[in-house]
Structure 1
Amino acid sequence: MVMQVLNDSAVLLNFTLKLADGSVAESTQAHGKPALFRLGDESLSPALEAELLGLSTGDKKTFTLAGEHLFGKYNPDLIQYFMPSDFAESGVPEAGTIMLFTAMNGSEMPGIVRDVTEDSVTVDFNHPLASEEVTFDIEVVSINPEEETTHANTAG
């Protein structure tokens, strides 16, 4: 029986994410192991899930999605301005630094320092790839791998 990716499938994938300039943003091969995702749990965007639906174990697929469909639209309201004195404990960061900031509710958010002047530190809380097209090279390693393990254990 050929298993296909369905709306609630767990999918083990090898993938490489490439930016428009061809540079690799992320790759499971670099980490030496595939990544496990569950469709329908809202960890993947609807656009990405739609590309995976119907694929079978061993299938390979290449597709490109706009960053807004993966990481949300770039939002100018997520640009925040801080005083250099706000960084008294850690020291004023350099432009390009990625830092964790604690929100008022206690959650942590990464921000990218975009600009540092004598009077202001500009931090962008948008996802770094929000405005980037991303090309996916994926290979389906396994579908519902926990079921395969269960069946293998009961059969033997």
Structure 2
Amino acid sequence: MQTAKRGDRVTVQYIGTLDNGRIFDSTTDETPLVFTIGAEEVFPALEREVVGMKAGETRNILLPADKAYGPRREENVLTLRREAFPADREIKVGQKLSLEFKDGKERVMLVTRVGEGEVTLDGNHPLAGMDLTFALRLDGID
């Protein structure tokens, strides 16, 4: 029976959970995860775990934070004066804003606090700093 290797296009189903058991993401039969091993379309650590699996095989995979979205970084949290934003723009906690930095790069950041004259934005991925567990089933190898 064929096993998954670098260059193969694979179809997987998964349920992703956090340490507290909360599901952060999952696939369905209608929306499986399809990727090419080695093409850096998913976490490299996840690709490595799929290598050697056979179609129909299941596996539980733990990705520590540093192999997933990385650690939370305080340098990704910014506090800006309210005047940095258009006066007529409503800014609320939970809102995502796209900011352009001096180097010309744009970055989507989450508003985490709106205070007296200041707005705090977090550019960390929501799952940064968290270990992720995947209950994974390899459905197909092309």
Verify same fold: TM over 0.5: yes
Aligned-pair CA distance for 1:12: 0.8
CA distance, structure 1, for counterparts of residue 125 and residue 77 of structure 2: 11
Per-residue CA deviations over 1:82-133 (Å, capped at 9, x if unaligned) read: 2223332772422232333345566543212122111211111111111111
List alignment gaps of at least 5 residues for structure 2. none
> Equivalent residue for 2:44?
46
> Equivalent residue for 1:15?
14
CA distance, structure 2, for counterparts of residue 107 and residue 143 of structure 1: 37
Query: Which range moves more in the overlay, 40-49 or 97-106?
Result: 97-106
Cα pair distance change 1:122/1:11, threshold 3 Å: same
Normalising by the residue count of structure 1, what TM-score does the alignment of the two structures yield? 0.78
Q: Higher helix fraction: Structure 1 or Structure 2?
A: 1
CA distance, structure 2, for counterparts of residue 133 and residue 94 of structure 1: 29
> Equivalent residue for 2:109?
111
| Counterparts of residues 7-156 of structure 1 (less than 5 Å) | 7-29=6-28, 32-88=30-86, 91-103=89-101, 108-144=106-142
CA distance, structure 2, for counterparts of residue 90 and residue 79 of structure 1: 24
Q: How many residues align?
A: 142
Quick one: percent identity of the two aligned structures? 25
List alignment gaps of at least 5 residues for structure 1. 145-156
Query: Which range moves more in the overlay, 121-130 or 75-84?
Result: 75-84
Normalising by the residue count of structure 2, what TM-score does the alignment of the two structures yield? 0.85
> Equivalent residue for 1:148?
none
RMSD: 2.2
